[in-house]
Amino acid sequence: MYYNEEFETLPRPALEALQLKRLRSMLERVYANVPFYRDSLNTAGITPDKIKSLDDLQRLPFTTKQNMRDSYPYGLFAAPMEEIVRIHASSGTTGKPTVVGYTHKDIEIWSELMARSFVSAGAHKGDIIHNAYGYGLFTGGLGAHYGAEKLGASVIPISGGNTKRQIMIMQDFGSTVLTCTPSYSLFMAEEAKAEGVDFKKLKLRVGIFGAEPWSEAMRCEIEEKLGLTAIDIYGLSEIMGPGVAIECIEAKRGLHIWEDHFIPEIINPETGQRVAEGERGELVITTITKQGIPLVRYRTRDITSITYEPCICGRTHARITRMSGRSDDMLIIRGVNVFPSQIESILVGIEGVEPHYLLVVDRNENLDTLEVQVEVNELLFSDEVKVLQRLAKRIEKEIKDMLGVTCSAKLVEPKTIQRSEGKARRVIDNRKL
């Protein structure tokens, strides 16, 4: 099932021809309208007319989050303010947010790409979409909302928070699709259980989860606890919002990135050079149809790999693998690179352990230390101390064996690690203080 069969299944030569055409016209537009790009292209000694092939994209300079911050709030906009109909922003960890603007056409395209994403996840007209992504400056709520309406589904704009009420509404309104962060979905399941509601008896068929890294093991856990098919959706506000890439329900192997609107590249974050197909690296995206704030070779900091192999669903758009995290979230602990999602995979695979965890990194006499705080289930928590000690040892050993890092596992009482209604906080790195 497709939303826009023609474009979703465009043969690659036609898709690439379209990309080149759109790339060139986008470059002409930013060169004419955005001083930052005119300067950076001039410095690189390249003008839009010199771009003759998709390979030439590599000759263009990257754009970074810092560039966006430096031109706060509207400096990178390529359309006049009279044409901007919506403004979003991402919160970021420090200082000012990153601001993005959309023209009518941008909103139309975003809605279509979200509608495509819904269909790719197995949703359709007639579905009741319970949209628990936050509404506001965050792109999750409104992005999914407009896509759901475009699709012709019924959308419940519940936003995040007030979990008990969410559960009542899902039950009473007969929601069939759930959209929220993966961590919030688990929180909902937990609350439902406490309320005596069996999540599996709800009408939910599909969950479309994203906005934060999660692991394959977490997917199994969610599918098990919520009784639905869990689909991974990716996006970032700088590029558009949710719906830049999504898994297809047919394969659930990699996220199709909508290549008629975005050109993806995977680079080595150190050298900036492209890596081979299938190799991990940082995702760089060039938007080729955006009007409000087009971005040339934007460094997402997200780590993934790409494949152009055909997919059983028939879509011809390349697939990126599940994000292992952001390069700036990668922890280097005594020289070993560790992504929180790797630890998550290990924890979720251990019986008695709940998928709620926090990694606390510190530096003690020049040595990095990692404490893995993880909740155990009620049953186990009331067990003998010896049993708990054995479990802690097992977690420490598995993490050491699989990732090569020494840690101490701290088992904590059920429901003590802070829950999130949006993006979960998984790491506290005290070394930076």
- Check binding of 344 to ligand DLL (CB under 6 A): no
Rounded to the nearest whole angstrom, what is the least distance from the CB of residue 110 to ligand DLL in the complex?
A: 11
Q: Let me know if 396 is exposed, middle or buried by CB neighbors in 10 A (0-12, 13-18, 19+).
A: middle
267 touches 285 (CB < 8 A): no
Site map (CB under 6 A) of ligand DLL, residues 347-386, x = contact: ----------------------------------------
Stretch binding ligand DLL (CB under 6 A), from 136-144, 193-201, 223-231, 372-380:
136-144
The residues, ordered by sequence, that sit 6+ positions from 370 with a Cβ below 8 Å of its Cβ are: 331, 333, 338, 359, 360, 361, 405, 406, 407, 408
| 325/328 Cα distance (integer angstroms) | 8
How crowded is the C-beta side of 137, counted as CA atoms within 13 Å?
9
Site map (CB under 6 A) of ligand DLL, residues 163-202, x = contact: ----------------------------------------
Contacts of ligand DLL in 73-112 (CB under 6 A):
90
| 108/113 Cα distance (integer angstroms) | 9
C-alpha closest to that of 143 among 186, 184, 109, 120: 109
- Check binding of 421 to ligand DLL (CB under 6 A): no
- Check binding of 215 to ligand DLL (CB under 6 A): no
Choose which of 237, 286, 289, 342 interacts with ligand DLL (CB under 6 A).
237
Q: How far is CA 376 from CA 44, 220, 339, 351, in A?
A: 55, 18, 22, 9
Bridge-partner residues for 289, per DSSP?
A: none
Rounded to the nearest whole angstrom, what is the least distance from the CB of residue 214 to ligand DLL in the complex?
A: 6
Beta carbons within 10 angstroms of residue 275's beta carbon: 17
Rounded to the nearest whole angstrom, what is the least distance from the CB of residue 136 to ligand DLL in the complex?
A: 11
Q: Let me know if 312 is exposed, middle or buried by CB neighbors in 10 A (0-12, 13-18, 19+).
A: exposed
C-alpha closest to that of 62 among 326, 269, 284: 284
Contacts of ligand DLL in 284-323 (CB under 6 A):
300, 302, 323
- Check binding of 282 to ligand DLL (CB under 6 A): no
- Check binding of 118 to ligand DLL (CB under 6 A): no
Choose which of 232, 260, 354, 368 interacts with ligand DLL (CB under 6 A).
232
- Check binding of 133 to ligand DLL (CB under 6 A): yes
Q: How far is CA 69 from CA 73, 173, 418, in A?
A: 7, 42, 30
Choose which of 147, 210, 254, 340 interacts with ligand DLL (CB under 6 A).
210
- Check binding of 422 to ligand DLL (CB under 6 A): no
Q: In the complex with ligand DLL, which residue's Cβ is closer, 163 or 181?
A: 181
Stretch binding ligand DLL (CB under 6 A), from 138-146, 148-156, 161-169, 223-231:
138-146
Q: In the complex with ligand DLL, which residue's Cβ is closer, 41 or 120?
A: 120
Contacts of ligand DLL in 18-77 (CB under 6 A):
none
Choose which of 212, 265, 354, 375 interacts with ligand DLL (CB under 6 A).
212
Q: In the complex with ligand DLL, which residue's Cβ is closer, 207 or 235?
A: 235
Rounded to the nearest whole angstrom, what is the least distance from the CB of residue 7 to ligand DLL in the complex?
A: 21
Q: In the complex with ligand DLL, which residue's Cβ is closer, 210 or 254?
A: 210
Q: Which residue is nearest to ligand DLL, using beta carbons?
A: 210
51 phi, psi to nearest 5 deg: -85, 105
Q: How far is CA 299 from the centre of its chain?
A: 14
Q: In the complex with ligand DLL, which residue's Cβ is closer, 327 or 409?
A: 327
Bridge-partner residues for 375, per DSSP?
A: 412
* Lookup: tokens for 9: 């299944």
Rounded to the nearest whole angstrom, what is the least distance from the CB of residue 97 to ligand DLL in the complex?
A: 10
Rounded to the nearest whole angstrom, what is the least distance from the CB of residue 328 to ligand DLL in the complex?
A: 9
Choose which of 48, 101, 122, 140 interacts with ligand DLL (CB under 6 A).
140
- Helical ranges in 274-316 per DSSP H: none
| 150/409 Cα distance (integer angstroms) | 47
C-alpha closest to that of 145 among 180, 121, 172: 180
Report the interface residues with ligand DLL, using CB under 6 A: 90, 133, 138-140, 210-213, 232-237, 241-242, 300, 302, 323, 326
